[in-house]
Amino acid sequence: MVTGAAGFIGSNLSKRLLQDIPNICVVGVDSVTDYYDVNIKYGRLREIEKLGGRWSFEKVNIADKEGLDALFEKYSPSVVVNLAAQAGVRYSITNPGAYVESNLIGFYNILEACRHYGVEHLVYASSSSVYGSNKKVPYSTEDKVDNPVSLYAATKKSNELLAHAYSKLYNIPSTGLRFFTVYGPAGRPDMAYFGFTNKLVKGETIQIFNYGHCMRDFTYVDDIVEGVIRVMMHAPEKQTGEDGLPIPPYQVYNIGNSSPENLLDFVSILQEELVRAGVLPPDYDFESHKELVPMQPGDVPVTYADTEPLERDFGFRPSTPLREGLRKFAIWYAEYYKQSK
């Protein structure tokens, strides 16, 4: 079961599972909210359906406990990948209720369903935002993460705490994945690279926060999906401690490119690739469309993943170069919006 299956990562994961794993049955769950353009979400679902295979889609909100329990009763999933969440740091400042409903109540419902329906492994999306304003880089899963700077980050840290408690109390194997700035084709329009592109196409000015002095560990979506698939195949081992009680079968990993990019360099590469793909004209005046502005509430100056544990345990580290990933995005953007016109 993949929750958030109409989302950016969930749809890409569902496609990979259906393409690569013989005889797999994938149940996609999504409430298809209008947080951003639902046409993109339905387009992703159509791409999954084209693959055929044993795919079922259920339009259910994970905050609806009865509806979610009915799905677990119907399908009895052995592995659950929870990617359903209200995303976005800035939106959480003005719309906190959406985060409490999806990221806290919804996640609690997922944990309860895993407990009562014998799920063998719960994999769930956490976020690099849990590191808050930590000064030590790269960010390690061994670091303390007790000072979130946004409600979104606080809900993701809460997910990790709840999962740990359920792993301890009910011996449910769970793995949390802290994703670092995911990007790629058919991504979320509220992400910087997508929003910048929309504004540049309209001739509007883009705002670059912290006067351009931000570093982000941009991670291409295919690398994220590869990491999720490797992790979901290997649940943390159930063990009993000296006290006769379960040792929580619980892990957390970073999935990031471990190669932070300066935001100004990122924008330059994006612009070059948009021109190359024909999204913008060759003589586009970029300088007149850039505005350097202060840091926004909830933002952090740097994200940088320590992925050594992921490499040690699963033999994988993300490695797609930023230019390659942005080139694929620019090509998709040109094609998608040409069709939609």
Cα 143 to chain centroid distance, Å, stands at 21
In the chain, where the domains are located: 2-340
Name the residue among 141, 169, 166, 157 with its Cα closest to residue 80.
166
Q: What is the pLDDT of residue 340?
A: 63
Name the residue among 83, 92, 97 with its Cα closest to residue 129.
92
State the catalytic residues.
152
pTM of the model: 0.94
CATH of domain 2-340: 3.40.50.720
The answer to whether residues 270 and 196 touch, using CB atoms and an 8 Å cutoff, is yes
The answer to whether residues 329 and 193 touch, using CB atoms and an 8 Å cutoff, is yes
Name the residue among 1, 9, 32, 2 with its Cα closest to residue 180.
9
The count of other CB atoms within 10 Å of the CB of residue 218 is 28
Could you tell me the CA-to-CA distances from 280 to 33, 88, 199, 283, 284 in Å, in that order?
30, 27, 11, 8, 7
Q: What is the pLDDT of residue 91?
A: 85
Identity of the residue numbered 338 = K
Could you tell me the CA-to-CA distances from 229 to 67, 123, 187 in Å, in that order?
26, 10, 19
CA–CA separation, 61 and 48 (whole Å): 20
Strand ranges, E, within the chain = 2-3, 25-29, 54-58, 79-82, 121-127, 174-179, 182-183, 206-208, 215-216, 219-220, 239-240, 246-247, 250-255, 261-262, 290-292
Q: Given the structure tokens 């989302």, which residue do they identify?
A: 7
Q: What is the pLDDT of residue 88?
A: 85
Counts for the chain of helices (H) and strands (E), in that order: 12, 15
- The DSSP bridge partners found for residue 261 are 216
Helices (H), 36-150: 38-50, 65-75, 91-94, 96-99, 107-116
Which residue positions in the chain have pLDDT lower than 70? 298, 340-341
SS3 253: strand
The answer to whether residues 120 and 171 touch, using CB atoms and an 8 Å cutoff, is no
Tokens of 310: 């992921």
CA–CA separation, 230 and 311 (whole Å): 11
The count of other CB atoms within 10 Å of the CB of residue 335 is 12
Phi, then psi, of 56 in degrees rounded to 5: -130, 140
- The DSSP bridge partners found for residue 216 are 261
Q: What is the pLDDT of residue 176?
A: 98
What lies within 8 Å, CB to CB, of 169 at 6+ separation is: none
Phi, then psi, of 30 in degrees rounded to 5: -160, 145
